[in-house]
Amino acid sequence: TSASQQKAMLNLHKKIESSVGKVVLDPKLLKPHHLIAAYMHGIEIGEALINDGLYVLQKAPAIIYGMIQFSFNVPKLKIKTGVKNFGLRMAMNLIHFNQLFLQGLWEDKHPFEQLGSIPSETL
Protein backbone atom coordinates (compact mmCIF):
# COMPACT_ATOMS: atom_id res chain seq x y z
CA THR A 1 0.00 0.00 0.00
CA SER A 2 1.40 3.34 -1.00
CA ALA A 3 1.64 6.35 1.29
CA SER A 4 -1.11 8.11 -0.67
CA GLN A 5 -3.43 5.12 -0.22
CA GLN A 6 -2.72 5.01 3.51
CA LYS A 7 -3.43 8.73 3.82
CA ALA A 8 -6.63 8.37 1.78
CA MET A 9 -7.71 5.39 3.92
CA LEU A 10 -7.17 7.36 7.14
CA ASN A 11 -9.15 10.26 5.71
CA LEU A 12 -11.95 7.88 4.66
CA HIS A 13 -11.92 6.27 8.12
CA LYS A 14 -12.54 9.69 9.71
CA LYS A 15 -15.40 10.40 7.28
CA ILE A 16 -17.02 7.01 7.94
CA GLU A 17 -16.78 7.46 11.71
CA SER A 18 -18.37 10.90 11.50
CA SER A 19 -21.14 9.53 9.28
CA VAL A 20 -21.99 6.16 10.87
CA GLY A 21 -20.10 6.16 14.18
CA LYS A 22 -17.18 4.12 15.44
CA VAL A 23 -16.72 0.82 13.60
CA VAL A 24 -14.79 -1.97 15.31
CA LEU A 25 -13.69 -4.63 12.83
CA ASP A 26 -10.84 -6.98 12.16
CA PRO A 27 -8.16 -4.83 10.43
CA LYS A 28 -8.36 -7.10 7.34
CA LEU A 29 -12.04 -6.18 6.94
CA LEU A 30 -11.74 -2.47 7.61
CA LYS A 31 -10.78 -1.39 4.08
CA PRO A 32 -13.55 -3.30 2.23
CA HIS A 33 -16.08 -2.23 4.86
CA HIS A 34 -15.14 1.43 4.52
CA LEU A 35 -15.17 1.29 0.72
CA ILE A 36 -18.65 -0.28 0.70
CA ALA A 37 -19.93 2.12 3.39
CA ALA A 38 -18.56 5.08 1.43
CA TYR A 39 -20.38 3.83 -1.67
CA MET A 40 -23.64 3.34 0.22
CA HIS A 41 -23.43 6.75 1.95
CA GLY A 42 -22.15 8.69 -1.06
CA ILE A 43 -18.87 9.62 0.68
CA GLU A 44 -15.97 10.69 -1.54
CA ILE A 45 -13.12 8.16 -1.29
CA GLY A 46 -10.32 10.05 -2.99
CA GLU A 47 -8.21 9.29 -6.07
CA ALA A 48 -5.84 6.85 -4.34
CA LEU A 49 -8.64 4.42 -3.43
CA ILE A 50 -10.68 4.44 -6.65
CA ASN A 51 -9.20 1.22 -8.08
CA ASP A 52 -9.63 -0.59 -4.76
CA GLY A 53 -13.18 0.71 -4.47
CA LEU A 54 -14.07 -0.47 -7.96
CA TYR A 55 -12.59 -3.91 -7.24
CA VAL A 56 -14.62 -4.30 -4.03
CA LEU A 57 -17.81 -3.08 -5.72
CA GLN A 58 -17.31 -5.52 -8.62
CA LYS A 59 -16.79 -8.48 -6.25
CA ALA A 60 -19.50 -7.61 -3.70
CA PRO A 61 -22.54 -8.94 -5.63
CA ALA A 62 -20.91 -12.36 -6.03
CA ILE A 63 -19.97 -12.38 -2.35
CA ILE A 64 -23.52 -11.42 -1.32
CA TYR A 65 -24.92 -14.15 -3.59
CA GLY A 66 -22.58 -16.67 -1.95
CA MET A 67 -23.73 -15.50 1.49
CA ILE A 68 -27.37 -16.01 0.43
CA GLN A 69 -26.57 -19.54 -0.74
CA PHE A 70 -24.78 -20.21 2.57
CA SER A 71 -27.76 -18.93 4.57
CA PHE A 72 -29.95 -21.68 3.08
CA ASN A 73 -27.67 -24.21 4.80
CA VAL A 74 -27.99 -22.66 8.26
CA PRO A 75 -30.02 -25.17 10.27
CA LYS A 76 -33.21 -24.54 12.14
CA LEU A 77 -32.54 -24.30 15.85
CA LYS A 78 -34.82 -25.59 18.57
CA ILE A 79 -35.32 -23.05 21.33
CA LYS A 80 -37.63 -22.94 24.36
CA THR A 81 -40.45 -21.21 22.46
CA GLY A 82 -40.29 -23.35 19.30
CA VAL A 83 -38.11 -23.50 16.22
CA LYS A 84 -36.16 -20.55 14.80
CA ASN A 85 -35.12 -20.53 11.18
CA PHE A 86 -32.12 -18.22 11.34
CA GLY A 87 -31.10 -19.17 7.80
CA LEU A 88 -34.34 -17.88 6.32
CA ARG A 89 -34.10 -14.62 8.27
CA MET A 90 -30.47 -14.25 7.19
CA ALA A 91 -31.40 -14.89 3.53
CA MET A 92 -34.20 -12.32 3.66
CA ASN A 93 -31.88 -9.69 5.17
CA LEU A 94 -29.18 -10.43 2.58
CA ILE A 95 -31.65 -10.19 -0.30
CA HIS A 96 -32.88 -6.85 1.06
CA PHE A 97 -29.30 -5.60 1.47
CA ASN A 98 -28.40 -6.83 -2.03
CA GLN A 99 -31.22 -4.72 -3.50
CA LEU A 100 -30.03 -1.62 -1.62
CA PHE A 101 -26.41 -2.28 -2.54
CA LEU A 102 -27.06 -2.75 -6.25
CA GLN A 103 -29.03 0.48 -6.38
CA GLY A 104 -26.54 2.38 -4.24
CA LEU A 105 -29.06 3.17 -1.50
CA TRP A 106 -28.85 2.88 2.24
CA GLU A 107 -31.70 2.15 4.61
CA ASP A 108 -32.14 5.78 5.62
CA LYS A 109 -32.92 6.73 2.01
CA HIS A 110 -36.49 7.03 0.77
CA PRO A 111 -37.59 4.03 -1.37
CA PHE A 112 -38.68 6.38 -4.18
CA GLU A 113 -35.03 7.32 -4.66
CA GLN A 114 -34.76 3.99 -6.48
CA LEU A 115 -36.58 5.69 -9.32
CA GLY A 116 -34.00 7.69 -11.22
CA SER A 117 -36.55 10.23 -12.45
CA ILE A 118 -37.40 11.56 -8.96
CA PRO A 119 -34.70 13.82 -7.48
CA SER A 120 -34.04 13.40 -3.76
CA GLU A 121 -34.81 17.09 -3.18
CA THR A 122 -38.42 16.45 -4.28
CA LEU A 123 -38.88 13.80 -1.61
Quick: pLDDT tens for 14-47. 888 887 777 777 777 788 888 888 887 778 888 8
Q: What integer pLDDT is reported at residue 19 of this predicted model?
A: 77
Model confidence pTM above 0.85: no
Amino acid letter, residue 64: I
Measured torsion, CA atoms of residues 47, 52, 54, 59, in degrees rounded to the nearest 10: -170
Quick: pLDDT tens for 83-109. 667 778 888 888 888 887 777 666 666
Residue 116 has pLDDT above 60, yes or no: no
Cα–Cα distance, 39 to 109 (Å, whole number):
13
